[in-house]
Amino acid sequence: MNPLRWSYRTSFLIGFLICAALLGFALYAEYGLHMEPCPLCIFQRIAFMVMGVFFLVGAIHGPKGKAARWTYAVGAILGGIGGIATAARHLWIQTLPADQIPACGPNLGYMMDAFPMAKVLKMVFTGSGECAKVEPILGLPMPAWTLLWYVALLALVLVAATRRARQ
């Protein structure tokens, strides 16, 4: 099976299934492997959810027109770009020397309750000690895996959106 020959609908269905599998693995890592997600991990999950929703709706609709195809593609692309930015920031925090790692902060639930959204985003992307913890899976930290998947999913979106609709 050549992914370059898949229809728009098939590509978006595959994209949705990949997002669902990745979110399923994240839940397994949290509850089965007892890897507590930091705020940046949660934001990466949200980016996969955004991509997954656009993939699913695009697969169900299966638009023929170029504008409609790009509507779903742009939504998935924005989710992927947000995920790439979050994963890259997470990897950067994990590479900091021990003396430069920020102190652990409050969990995301508390921050969402206690602060306005702009301050929450600033605090999350500033990073904290729990974001610097490296727990490799198959030799790579989780944000490296998510970064690779975001890039692969964005390639899938671009290939699907730029193909001509079958008449």
SS (H, E, C) 79-93: HHHHHHHHHHHHHHH
Q: Which domain holds residue 30?
A: 3-162
CA-nearest of 31, 36, 39, 79 to 56 is 79
Q: The domain that contains 71 carries what CATH number?
A: 1.20.1550.10
Is 14 inside a domain boundary? yes
Is 40 inside a domain boundary? yes
Least-confidence region, from 98-102, 103-107, 141-145 = 103-107
Which of 104-113, 120-129, 157-166 holds the top average pLDDT? 157-166
pLDDT of 36: 82
CA distance 40 to 25: 16
CA dihedral 93, 99, 102, 106 (to 10 degrees): 120
Is 167 inside a domain boundary? no
Q: How confident is the model at residue 167 (pLDDT cuts 50, 70, 90)?
A: very low
Is 83 inside a domain boundary? yes
For helices 66-94 and 142-162, angle between their N-to-C axes, nearest 10 degrees: 160
pLDDT of 119: 73
52-86 pLDDT, tens digit each: 999 999 999 888 888 888 999 999 999 999 999 99
142 vs 16 pLDDT, higher one = 16
pLDDT of 33: 87
Q: What's the mean pLDDT when you consider all of the chain? A: 84
Q: How many domains does the chain have?
A: 1
Residue 31 in this model has a pLDDT that exceeds 90? yes
Is 74 inside a domain boundary? yes
Least-confidence region, from 40-44, 47-51, 112-116 = 112-116
Residue 126 in this model has a pLDDT that exceeds 70? no
